[in-house]
Each structure stands twice: as structure tokens, then as C-alpha cells.
Structure 1
Amino acid sequence: MSVNRTELVAAVAERSSLTKSQADAALSALQDVLVESVSKGEAVKITGLLAVERVERAARTGRNPQTGAEIQIPAGYGVKISAGSALKKAVSNK
């Protein structure tokens, strides 16, 4: 089971006394800030909840799974998301 955006907006609106459109705007703003910050290489930390950061990936040699031929994978960036203490506690208690 998962919570989609519509359900998340409704839950945030209910718990925060915001309208659904205000909660949706807040969620969109959070998304914009996360994307902008991570694209600049800045880490975003929401204490107790999560940390999001850009990580560098070194160039490496890989294999084509169909042919087995070696291929060169260029260096690039990825995203690392770490669970905060509140999330870890919520998962371990269930």
C-alpha cells in the first residue's frame, strides 16, 4: 500500500488546518526547494525525517547484459536519501 499525492495533500490539509489547495501549494514548494537545492549540490536535511543529497558517481566499466560486452559508464551524479530517526523508529516499531 502507498499514499499518492492526492491522499498526502488531503492528510496534510486535515492535520494542519490548511485547505487542500494550500497544502498542495506547500507540497509543491517543498518539491521545488528540494530539486533546486540538490541540483546545486546542497544537502537538504529535515531533522528526524530525512536527508537528501547529491552524490558523485565515478566512471566505471560495466557489461551489456545481453551481449556481455564491456561498456564504459561515464561519471555522473545520483541522489542519496537517508531516513531520519523518526522514520527509522516508526518502521522498527511495527
Structure 2
Amino acid sequence: MNKQELIDAVAADVGESKAATGETIQAVLAVITRAVTEGETVQLVGFGSFSQGQRAARTARNPLTGGEMQIAAAKTVKFTAGKAFKLRLEVA
């Protein structure tokens, strides 16, 4: 499902226009993005939580040359599914 399909599905479920639903979804995504970027954890009970993670610097091998290369440390986004979400996956 892409973003437009999500907007269409939510608009049909709540009976709102696609334009209003699209603005709402965009606002929710912007708030989640801003919060995680600032180091906060966003918890949506029953769905899951978004948080910021760290990936350590490491040494890897170039598959073409076989030589070693350094990969820098990086910040990442982590999503952890909530209990209700996991249970829905088990019965599906």
C-alpha cells in the first residue's frame, strides 16, 4: 500500500474527503518525524513505537574488490510493533 492508497482507505473508513484526510495523514507523519528527529519516542498504544537508534561504525568488505572499507556510525529509526499489532499478525 502506498501513501495515496492509505489516504483513500482512511478517507473511506471515516467518511471524510480525500484532501482533508491527506492533510491529516501528512501532519501526523510530520509530527512523528519531528519528534523522532529530536530524540523522542513516539508510542502509539496497540500499534507500536518509533524511536531513534544508533548504528556503530564498523569495518566491511567490498564485494567487488575484497578490500576492507570503513562504514561510519549512523543514526537510524527503529519501529517496534505493539502487542496488539503482533497478535493480529499471528491470526492473519
Question: Is the TM-score greater than 0.5?
Answer: yes
Aligned counterpart for 1:32 among listed residues 6, 11, 30: 30
**CA deviation after TM superposition for structure 1 residue 59, in Å:** 1.2
Deviations 1:3-59 (A, max 9, x none): 222221121112223211111011100110111111111111111102111101111
Aligned to 1:48, the other structure's residue is in SS state coil
Aligned to 2:40, the other structure's residue is in SS state coil
Aligned to 1:82: 80
**CA deviation after TM superposition for structure 1 residue 77, in Å:** 0.7
Unaligned runs of 5+ in 2: none
**CA deviation after TM superposition for structure 1 residue 82, in Å:** 1.1
Aligned to 1:64: 62
TM-score (norm 2): 0.90
**Equivalent pairs, count:** 92
Residue identity over aligned pairs, in percent, reads 37
TM-score (norm 1): 0.88
Aligned to 2:17: 19
Aligned to 2:88, the other structure's residue is in SS state helix
